[in-house]
Chain A
Amino acid sequence: MLLPRIFAPVRASIATSSTFIAPSTRVLDALRSANGSATPTVPTLSFVRHSAHQAQGRANGAKDGPGKRLGAKKSGGEFVIPGNIIFRQRGTAWFPGENCKFGRDHCVFATESGYVRYYRDPRKHPKRQYIGVALEKEHTLPYPPNAVRRRRLNMLAVPVTAPTSSSTPAADVIVADLPVDTAARADTPRESTRKSLTLTRGKGYAYREANWQIGRAAERANVQVKEFVPGDRWTAWRKSNARIEANVERKKLRNAGKKTAKPKARKQRN
């Protein structure tokens, strides 16, 4: 009942068009216009496009972490003392110029007290930008190329604390074969109980002897080492022989536990 009424305009349109062969979209359009806009046809999706990239979770990484507080810590013209960090950075946007150095994370710090300058030095490098410390307030950086370097002594002249003349370490000498009795108990020739032992704080926290003092321990203990004579083939031969023999012994010991295949008894041919 309904169908003939619906199809009536279609029939009419088909009748008007002389050529029936038309693109399919046109047919749909014609249908739509014929039906009127009162009942729009909803197109239904016949397939799903899946995501190719993870949208949630850790896939995209944390974009907004805590700030690293990079950038200039001292501005141009500010007074700094040695060790003051002037600029923190990732990579080398700024290079250390006069009286400055790189830290281990490329931060630029001052090695002299003075006034911070941000500058370029085309003679050194055409593209780099430098941070320097001018020693006086009115100085500009870079300093002229052929002029005498400006530098400070940063030292004081004081009277010598230890007299330089007493270079004989008589107190350090330890007799190796000391008679052991109760009186000399305190003077045992052990390194740790030495009288002249001076412990200083090294780079770390520990108080220890200096490396050069440790290195002299054998000398203090009066250890006699046989002197090496270049070209002494006799001693060299004896030593090498002893070494070879010792190696043979060691090899025997090493192989003692193992089962070794017996060498096959050869048949004596007639």
Chain B
Amino acid sequence: MVSVTLSIRQFSACLRCVQQVSGANVTPRRLLSSSTTAREDLQTQSSTPLPPPPSDPPTDSTQISAPQETPEYMQKWGTLDPQMVENKKQERRLLRREHLQPVGSRRRRAVLRRSTIQQATEVPFEQLPYQCFQEARRFLLEDRQEKLKEIETQQIRIKNLVEQDPAVSGGLLAKEARIRSMRKHLNELVILADINDPVVKRKFEDGQGDMNKPIYRYLADEKWRKYKRLVLEQRITQLDVVPDFLPTIDLVADIDLGFGRKPVAPGDFVDSAISEKMPRLNVQTFTPGEKLVTVVVVDGDVPVPETDSFTYRCHLIASNISISPTQTSIPLQRIAQEDQKIEDPAAKKISVPWIAPWAHKGAPYHRLAIFVLEQSEAKSLDIARLSKTKRNKFNLRSFVDSHKLNPITATLFRTKWDESMAGVMERAGFKDQINVELKRKRVEPLPHKRRIERMR
């Protein structure tokens, strides 16, 4: 009993540090900056044209449709708030019924739950009785006000420069260069204005950041570059994707590969039965605006025993897929299904349909590289022209050049012969290749090392 009371006291003490943004009965509160609307206006103004904020359909649909479809035993579970689920069982139930991930740490959720049960009075951020904390907040607020002022002046300066006659500002090129550097500085200021905001930090860590806002894009990019990008880059260079498929690649977008539910780390061996269906991609860009992209899957290790070398084979080309910082998913399987319904061949997206990756028995592993190529100026490509692309001896370098594409990210998986490969090949129409096996060639010894009859 003693321990219980102790822990509760700790929780209530901890509660003051933890803020509840949107509880069941608490209105959302802006914490650091008093004028919410002003800031958000500023963010949308200052950044280059942004798409309208998404209406967030998935959560709405689940909230509406969930109670109708849920079976009875699920309804017995009661209300499950992602902010307050406390134990593993509840978390699992939340995921099953509401299809939502719990928010933040379990400790925080426990604190929030206890405080709502006890109906503890909440001290807002601004009135917390810690002097040092309040001093720090005031300092950060002052800094933010400074940054806002700088942003305003910078905007006025840019506006003036744009209106200025190029002859005065030293030629058109010099003027443009200056505008560019000023815009860059403005973007930096926009980031700096928000980077110290504890609410921003917390929202980002909870995964609730709005990727339409520059600060969240910036934070996501930083996080990606710290670990995930390093791993991806290493796999791409170590498995020689870079000189074999393309001369260079600068990774600027995060990519997640998966087959069905199963995520695949870059460079993993994927079972042939699993890779029979198309993968799904998640491409997170960190630059504002929508992009049209082409997804290409190329096998770089198709053996050619006649010439004793390797060649390429194209497994998929899907074009005119739009992505943006908030629209990250590329479900190729669904895109293919939608394509089948479309009558007009020009409106289709998949120009070279998927064939399952396959490998001969005994052959060295096949690398299947997946490239996301940005189409220049978001112009859509001609599907009829693309569909004439030959699968065999596909050259990605010339493909990229001829269609003016810019690779933004890439990943890869590997395949080799396994138990299910025979079936996969039969269904893919390579039945004649099933009973072909690759075996190592005998290396003839050098003439002076050859053992002749006399020596035996």
Q: Which of A6-14, A15-23, A152-160 contacts B (4 or more CB under 8 A)?
A: A152-160
Q: Which of A62-70, A119-127, A141-149 contacts B (4 or more CB under 8 A)?
A: A141-149
| 18 A–B contacts from the bound complex (CB under 8 Å) | A81-B445, A83-B443, A146-B247, A147-B247, A149-B244, A151-B310, A152-B308, A153-B310, A156-B441, A157-B303, A158-B436, A158-B438, A159-B435, A159-B437, A160-B361, A160-B435, A161-B437, A164-B422
Q: Which of A84, A153, A160 contacts B305 (CB 8 A)?
A: A153
Q: Which of A84, A147, A157 contacts B436 (CB 8 A)?
A: A157
Q: Does residue A118 face the partner (Cβ distance < 8 Å to B)?
A: no
Q: Does residue B388 face the partner (Cβ distance < 8 Å to A)?
A: no
Q: Does residue B243 face the partner (Cβ distance < 8 Å to A)?
A: yes
In the assembled complex, the CB of B226 is this many whole angstroms from the nearest CB of chain A, namely 27
Decide if A82 touches B443 in the complex (CB within 8 Å).
yes
Residues of A within 8 A of B341 (CB): none
Decide if A155 touches B309 in the complex (CB within 8 Å).
no
Decide if A153 touches B303 in the complex (CB within 8 Å).
yes
In the assembled complex, the CB of A203 is this many whole angstroms from the nearest CB of chain B, namely 17
Decide if B243 touches A155 in the complex (CB within 8 Å).
no
Q: Mark B360-373, 1 if CB is under 8 A from A, else 0.
A: 11111000000000
In the assembled complex, the CB of A31 is this many whole angstroms from the nearest CB of chain B, namely 83
Given A81-B445, A84-B446, A167-B419, CB of A155 within 8 Å of CB of B440: yes
Residues of A within 8 A of B243 (CB): 145-149
Q: Does residue A24 face the partner (Cβ distance < 8 Å to B)?
A: no
Complex Cα distance A80/B308, Å?
A: 18
Q: Mark B436-456, 1 if CB is under 8 A from A, else 0.
A: 111111011110000000000
Q: Which of A79, A84, A154, A159 contacts B308 (CB 8 A)?
A: A154
In the assembled complex, the CB of A83 is this many whole angstroms from the nearest CB of chain B, namely 8
Decide if B244 touches A155 in the complex (CB within 8 Å).
no
In the assembled complex, the CB of B228 is this many whole angstroms from the nearest CB of chain A, namely 25
Q: Does residue B146 face the partner (Cβ distance < 8 Å to A)?
A: no
Residues of B within 8 A of A35 (CB): none
Q: Mark B102-129, 1 if CB is under 8 A from A, else 0.
A: 0000000000000000000000000000
Q: Does residue A140 face the partner (Cβ distance < 8 Å to B)?
A: no
Within 8 A of A (CB), among B404-456: 419, 422, 434-441, 443-446
Decide if B363 touches A155 in the complex (CB within 8 Å).
yes
Decide if A157 touches B305 in the complex (CB within 8 Å).
yes
Q: Does residue A44 face the partner (Cβ distance < 8 Å to B)?
A: no
Decide if A154 touches B436 in the complex (CB within 8 Å).
no
- The residue on B at minimum CB distance from A164 is B422
Complex Cα distance A247/B383, Å?
A: 75
Decide if B445 touches A154 in the complex (CB within 8 Å).
no
Interface residue total, chain A, C-beta cutoff 8 A? 26
Other than A151-B310, A153-B438, A164-B422, give 12 A-B pairs with Cβ distance below 8 A. Answer: A79-B446, A80-B446, A83-B443, A146-B243, A153-B305, A153-B309, A156-B440, A157-B360, A157-B438, A160-B436, A160-B437, A165-B422
- The residue on B at minimum CB distance from A163 is B435
Given A145-B243, A155-B362, A155-B440, CB of A164 within 8 Å of CB of B434: yes
Decide if A81 touches B303 in the complex (CB within 8 Å).
no
Complex Cα distance A95/B342, Å?
A: 59
Q: Does residue B26 face the partner (Cβ distance < 8 Å to A)?
A: no
Q: Mark B169-195, 1 if CB is under 8 A from A, else 0.
A: 000000000000000000000000000
Q: Mark B155-178, 1 if CB is under 8 A from A, else 0.
A: 000000000000000000000000
Residues of B within 8 A of A80 (CB): 446
Complex Cα distance A84/B443, Å?
A: 12
Complex Cα distance A113/B310, Å?
A: 17
Complex Cα distance A145/B246, Å?
A: 12
Q: Mark A14-46, 1 if CB is under 8 A from B, else 0.
A: 000000000000000000000000000000000
- The residue on A at minimum CB distance from B307 is A153
Complex Cα distance A63/B106, Å?
A: 73
Q: Mark A83-117, 1 if CB is under 8 A from B, else 0.
A: 11000000000000000000000000000010000
Q: Which of A81, A146, A159 contacts B444 (CB 8 A)?
A: A81
Q: Mark B72-110, 1 if CB is under 8 A from A, else 0.
A: 000000000000000000000000000000000000000
Given A155-B303, A155-B305, CB of A81 within 8 Å of CB of B446: yes
In the assembled complex, the CB of A238 is this many whole angstroms from the nearest CB of chain B, namely 25
Decide if A152 touches B309 in the complex (CB within 8 Å).
yes
Decide if A146 touches B310 in the complex (CB within 8 Å).
no
Complex Cα distance A148/B446, Å?
A: 29
Within 8 A of A (CB), among B283-340: 303-305, 308-310
Q: Does residue B248 face the partner (Cβ distance < 8 Å to A)?
A: yes
Residues of B within 8 A of A82 (CB): 443
Q: Does residue B240 face the partner (Cβ distance < 8 Å to A)?
A: yes
Decide if B305 touches A149 in the complex (CB within 8 Å).
no
Decide if B439 touches A156 in the complex (CB within 8 Å).
yes
Complex Cα distance A6/B437, Å?
A: 116
- The residue on B at minimum CB distance from A80 is B446
Q: Mark A157-184, 1 if CB is under 8 A from B, else 0.
A: 1111100110100000000000000000
Complex Cα distance A28/B382, Å?
A: 116
Q: Which of A79, A145, A149, A158 contacts B439 (CB 8 A)?
A: A158
In the assembled complex, the CB of B219 is this many whole angstroms from the nearest CB of chain A, namely 33
Decide if A164 touches B310 in the complex (CB within 8 Å).
no
Report which residue of A80, A152, A160, A167 has the largest number of chain B beta carbons within 10 angstroms of its beta carbon: A160
